[in-house]
């Protein structure tokens, strides 16, 4: 039996098992924190509201804003893993089935896998593993993206991979500026409200800048939205290609999708994150995904579909 992509398959299995472990970690932390949804921010806000209703300043002092810290770390370890691993595996799969050196891919995926373990461990334990994980992850996806240049008709994939890394670096830069290591800043705003409330001076709450982390949130959502849709489109595109869909159709759809992603990010950075590029990006993204989904259904079942049409005529 011929195995299409043994290297990618092996590492996909290893990374998949570790992803499940990270999922279980969240479940454990949710049980400890007694939080079924979210990262604990809403629970903290509810505690602030309850303390405010009581009219007693001392009730604010009883709120432990670090009580959901482990839950947030587990969520982000799981989330970050899920954001980058599919890209690396998909790019690796494309490279492997197109004949890129097995030794090279094996080396890249081996180092990438170690980086993911280091990042998840570092995120939960606040150690250097996170920094090492970030650097090696970026380098791995960078190399895999560049390798796709040497594969015919895969220029668009390279562009999308490199742009995703650019958005990731933008998010990291905003984290550094805002000094927020984890999350989008909501938890830090809640902590500031609690700290100000403990002083008993209501005017201190009014001094809190609720827009202090807007740029960080925009950067996070730019990267997040890009990753959420791009991985689906690239996966569907690969399935279509393996099913024999003409390359000119796929290239056209991927070009439109790439433009849509650039437009969407531009729109998110517009006034109130509602620039016209965002609307254009959403529309083109939906059209692309709808087209690829339809093609995925049609091509392997075209004979059945044609027969059904004939029967109804």
Buried b (16+ CB within 10 A) or exposed e, 291-309: bbeebbeeeeeeeeeeeee
| Dist. CA 63–CA 44, nearest whole Å | 8
Q: Does residue 126 come out as left (phi exceeding 0), alpha (psi in the -120 to 50 range) or beta?
A: left
| Dist. CA 134–CA 122, nearest whole Å | 10
DSSP state string for the chain: ---S-HHHHHHHHHHHHHHHHHHHHHHHHHHHHT-SSSSSHHHHHHHHHHHHHHT-THHHHT--TTTTHHHHHHHHHHHHHHHHHHHHHHHHHHHHHTT--HHHHHHHHHHHHHHHHHHHHHHHHTSTHHHHHHHHHHHHHHHHHHHGGGSTT-HHHHHHHHHHHHHHHHHHHHHHHHT--SSSSHHHHHHHHHHHHHTT-HHHHHT--TTTTHHHHHHHHHHHHHHHHHHHHHHHHHHHHHTT--HHHHHHHHHHHHHHHHHHHHHHTSGGG--HHHHHHHHHHHHHHHHHHHHHHHGGGHHHHHHHHHHH-
State the average pLDDT over residues 71-89. Answer: 94
Is residue 70 scored above 80 in pLDDT?
yes
Among the residue ranges 13-22, 215-224, 304-313, the one predicted with the least confidence is 304-313
| Dist. CA 300–CA 185, nearest whole Å | 46
| Dist. CA 25–CA 278, nearest whole Å | 35
Question: 267-288: per-residue pLDDT in tens?
Answer: 999 888 889 999 999 999 999 9
Model pTM above 0.85: yes
pLDDT score at 195: 81
Report how far apart, in Å, the C-alpha atoms of 98 and of each of 101, 110, 252 are: 9, 20, 21
Q: Using alpha carbons only, how large is the chain's radius of gyration in Å?
A: 23
- For residue 74, count other CB atoms closer than 10 A to its CB: 25
Domain residue extents for the chain: 1-208, 212-313
Question: 159-169: per-residue pLDDT in tens?
Answer: 999 999 999 99
pLDDT score at 73: 92
Burial degree of 60 (CB within 10 A; 0-12, 13-18, 19+): buried
Q: Which residues contact 104 (CB under 8 A, 6 or more apart)?
A: 147
State the average pLDDT over residues 34-48. Answer: 85
Mean pLDDT over each residue of the chain, to the nearest integer: 89
Higher pLDDT, 193 or 30: 30
Is residue 40 scored above 90 in pLDDT?
no
The whole-angstrom distance between residue 70's C-alpha and the CA centroid of its chain comes to 20
Cβ 32 vs Cβ 70: under 8 Å: yes
State the average pLDDT over residues 65-84. Answer: 90
pLDDT score at 310: 84
At 92, the pLDDT band (50, 70, 90 cuts) reads very high
At 1, the pLDDT band (50, 70, 90 cuts) reads low
pLDDT score at 230: 96
State the average pLDDT over residues 216-222. Answer: 94
């Amino acid at each position: 039996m011929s195995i299409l992509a043994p290297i990618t398959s092996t590492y996909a299995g290893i990374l998949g098992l570790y992803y499940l472990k990270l999922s279980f970690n969240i479940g454990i932390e949710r049980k400890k924190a007694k939080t079924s949804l979210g990262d604990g921010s809403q629970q903290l806000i509810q505690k602030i509201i309850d303390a405010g209703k009581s009219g007693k300043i001392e009730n604010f002092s009883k709120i432990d804003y670090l009580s959901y810290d482990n839950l947030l770390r587990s969520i982000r370890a799981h989330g970050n893993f899920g954001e980058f691993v599919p890209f690396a595996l998909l790019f690796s799969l494309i490279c492997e089935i197109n004949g890129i050196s097995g030794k090279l891919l094996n080396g890249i995926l081996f180092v990438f896998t170690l980086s993911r373990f280091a990042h998840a461990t570092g995120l939960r334990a606040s150690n250097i593993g996170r920094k090492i994980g970030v650097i090696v992850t970026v380098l791995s996806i960078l190399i895999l993206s560049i390798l796709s240049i040497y594969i015919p008709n895969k220029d668009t994939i390279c562009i999308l991979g490199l742009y995703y890394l650019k958005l990731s670096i933008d998010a990291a830069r905003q984290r550094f500026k805002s000094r927020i290591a984890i999350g989008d800043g909501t938890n830090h705003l809640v902590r500031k409200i609690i700290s100000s409330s403990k002083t008993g001076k209501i005017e201190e709450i009014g001094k809190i800048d609720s827009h202090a982390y807007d740029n960080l949130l925009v950067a996070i959502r730019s990267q997040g939205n890009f990753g959420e849709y791009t991985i689906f489109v690239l996966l569907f595109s690969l399935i279509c290609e393996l099913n024999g869909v003409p390359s000119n159709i796929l290239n056209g759809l991927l070009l439109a999708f790439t433009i849509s992603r650039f437009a969407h990010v531009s729109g998110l950075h517009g006034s109130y994150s509602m620039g016209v590029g965002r609307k254009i990006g959403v529309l083109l993204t939906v059209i692309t995904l709808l087209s690829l989904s339809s093609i995925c259904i049609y091509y392997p079942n075209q004979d059945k579909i044609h027969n059904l049409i004939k029967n109804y005529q």
